[in-house]
Every structure is written in structure tokens, then in C-alpha cells.
Amino acid sequence: MSNPSQGCSYAVKTNRACWSLLGLPFDQVDGGQALEIIDQAIATKTKCFLSTPNLNFIVQAKQDESFYESVIYSDLVVADGMPVIWTAKLLGIPLRSRVAGSSLFERLQNTQRDKPISVFFFGGQGNVAQQAADNLNRTSVGMIACGALNPGIGSVESMSSDDIIEKINAAQPDFLVVSLGAKKGQQWIMHNREKLDASVISHLGAVVNFVGDTVQRAPLGWQKVGLEWLWRIVQEPLLWKRYFIDGLWFLRFMVTHVLPLALYQKLLQGRADKNLFMEIVSDVDGGSVEMQLGGSATAVNGVVLKSGCRRILDQLDAVPRVSINCADLDYIDSSALGTLMLLKANILRRGGALGLFRVSRRIRRLMRLHGVEAFLLE
């Protein structure tokens, strides 16, 4: 894992109720709570990078490090895909409902408010961004389009010129909707995140097409039973190959990781100590902080773990190297793994380093089955 944007002005929030699932951290929020976070970010002009992983998103993140990093360093990550929700249910992770980026945007644009949310559409094919802007201004009661721009075909760098960034910022959007293809879109956001003034930034490629009326979204019934992908294939036949490859990856990951994890964690839960032992040892002169973990790190004692993470971050400017001694750790669940992922992301963003040592074979296997071993133990 690289150490991008060292010394950046923003930090990954570690007090989130976050769960590790399919190798990525997901926030435990429903649609209403996600909307509240977005509204609050806009009201307070706080930066919020929203990522909405669906199955294709997850597959690409597994294959591309920079794509993976873009999710790890997001401020809000919601489950935009029924396979994600089905997997969470199987593993006992409390992600109860799909939170689609398209649904969030739709609810925002149809909610009457005293001051409409200003939106800038960036990307899309042809003039669909401008069509989306025109349609939004004609039909929305909660949003107003303040601009649209198609940067054309090129690299992330060529789409990040001072002229382009200045044009977006000059429009003063509250919400910047990016549509460059998921991989390039996430990379573009990461590349320009510090320079953009918009409070909420998200790659929502389908939204531009839906609002621009170039693609029709699946009926609600299709969405609820997880068949939105089939509706998309009917409208865009070339998508069949992508969905087929994603489906094969998902089946393989279910067999090799998810089902073994469901059985293994059930076996360990009955044996592990129910309490969490945690101690923080500081050695400022040596330039390091050590956290000792013992017992079970679970959602039940998540407040304790999050408190320890905050104490570590408070010392991080003086002590940039953090080590976690896992010798006495009997069990760790998805919630604790999510917290450790956020901790490491925060430390990396500040130019520090985090290492876990004396990790037992049992804990390593849990991390591998969760899909986070490469990130947490590298």
C-alpha cells in the first residue's frame, strides 16, 4: 500500500461505525443516515468523499491498488449492491439495506429545501452532462445545476489542469458528480481532492445517465430483488461481459472466503474470551507507539477500541510509527477490522506507518478470509 498525499489537510474519520466486508470498509448506515451525513457536510462545508461500491466496484478495487486506496480513504462508504447485502447477512454484519448512490441523489433532488443543493456534473459521454444539468434545473425541487463539463478522453492528469479545476470551483458546487468510469473517476477524485472546494464529491456515473435521460433506471421491484443488473443489460447489451466476469469472481470469493469465514468465525466465537484487553505504551524518544491487544476485539467492545485509536492519533504528530502487539488476541470480528483499517488509513494519510506483529495463525486466517490481510499485515 502506497502512502499517498502525505501531509494532506484532511484525515479519515475513525469514529465511524465501519465493518470490513469483502475486503473493504463499509459504513453501517441506511439511506436516511447517509442523507443526513451528506446534508451535514454541505451545511458545514465539510469535505465528504462518498464511495458507493457495488460488485463491479469491489472486483476492480481488488485488482487495482489505487482504486482500493480510494475506498479506504473515503469519508463515507455505502453498500450499493445486493450481493454486498446478501454477503453481510450471511456473515452477521448489520448492513441491512442497500444504499444506492442513484437513490441518494434521487432523494436529494426531490426533497424541497429553502436553499437548493448546487450540483456540478463532470464527465459523461458526449453532451450527457449538460443534458443532465438542463433536466435537473427543469425538474428538481431540491437541487440546482451550477455547471457541467465533459473533459473529453485523456489521462487523469490531463483532466486535472488548473483551468478545469478553476472552472469547477468557480461554479461553487455543493455536490460534484463525477462520471469518468469507476476506476478513472475514483483516481481523478483522489488526485484532485485537495484542490476541489465542493463539500460532497462522488463518482456516480449512472446518475449522469439517469438524469440526462440516456438510460432508464430499473423499476423499484427489480431493484429490491437484486435484478437491476439484468435491466441494465437489456438497455446496454455490452454490459453482459462485465456482469458475467463479476459474477464469476463473486462465486469464487464466496466459496474460497465467505463460506469458510462464516463457519470459522462461528467456531471461534464460542471459544474466545469475551473481553478486550488493550494497553497503549508510548515511547516518544524512540519515535513509536505500541498498542497491545488481547482477548476479543468485537463490536461489543468497539467503543474501547475506537477510544484507543483516537489516543494513538492524538500522539501521531510526535510519534509517527505505530505497532500493535496481537500476541494475546484470541478473536477479531468485522467491526474491529473495519476500525483498524480506518486507523491505518488515517496514519498513512499523515505520513506515518502502522504494523501488526506477533499475529497468530488464527488471526491471520480470519484476516485472510475477510480479505484484509494484504492491507493490514503488509
Side chain identity at residue 64, one-letter code: D
pLDDT digits (tens, 9 = 90+) for 335-354: 999 999 999 998 888 888 89
Mean pLDDT of the chain: 87
Check pLDDT > 60 for residue 2: no
Confidence of residue 167 (pLDDT cuts 50, 70, 90): very high
CB burial of 132-169 (b: ≥16 within 10 Å; e: otherwise) equals bbbbbeeebebbbbbbbbbbeeeebeebbeeeeeeebe
Confidence of residue 273 (pLDDT cuts 50, 70, 90): low
Q: What pLDDT, on the 0 to 100 scale, is given for residue 285?
A: 57
Q: How far apart, in whole angstroms, are the C-alpha atoms of residue 97 and residue 378?
A: 32
DSSP 315: T
CB atoms within 10 A of CB 313: 19
pLDDT digits (tens, 9 = 90+) for 141-156: 999 999 999 998 889 9
Give the residue ranges of DSSP H helices in 171-258.
182-192, 205-211, 220-224, 228-235, 240-253
Check pLDDT > 50 for residue 7: no
Q: What pLDDT, on the 0 to 100 scale, is given for residue 271?
A: 66
Grid cell for residue 342: 480506518
Side chain identity at residue 51, one-letter code: S
- The domain segmentation of the chain, as residue ranges, is 18-244, 276-377
Q: What pLDDT, on the 0 to 100 scale, is given for residue 311?
A: 85
Q: How far apart, in whole angstroms, are the C-alpha atoms of residue 72 and residue 51?
A: 9
Q: What pLDDT, on the 0 to 100 scale, is given for residue 232?
A: 72
Query: What residues are paired with 90 via a beta bridge?
Result: none
Share of the chain above pLDDT 90, in %: 57
Considering only the top CATH level, what class is 276-377? alpha beta
Q: What pLDDT, on the 0 to 100 scale, is given for residue 263?
A: 94
Range with lowest mean pLDDT among 24-33, 213-222, 274-283: 213-222
Interstrand relation of 200-203 and 175-179 (parallel, antiparallel or unpaired): parallel
Question: Three-state DSSP class for 321?
Answer: strand
CB atoms within 10 A of CB 1: 14
Assessment of whether the complete model's pTM goes beyond 0.85 = yes
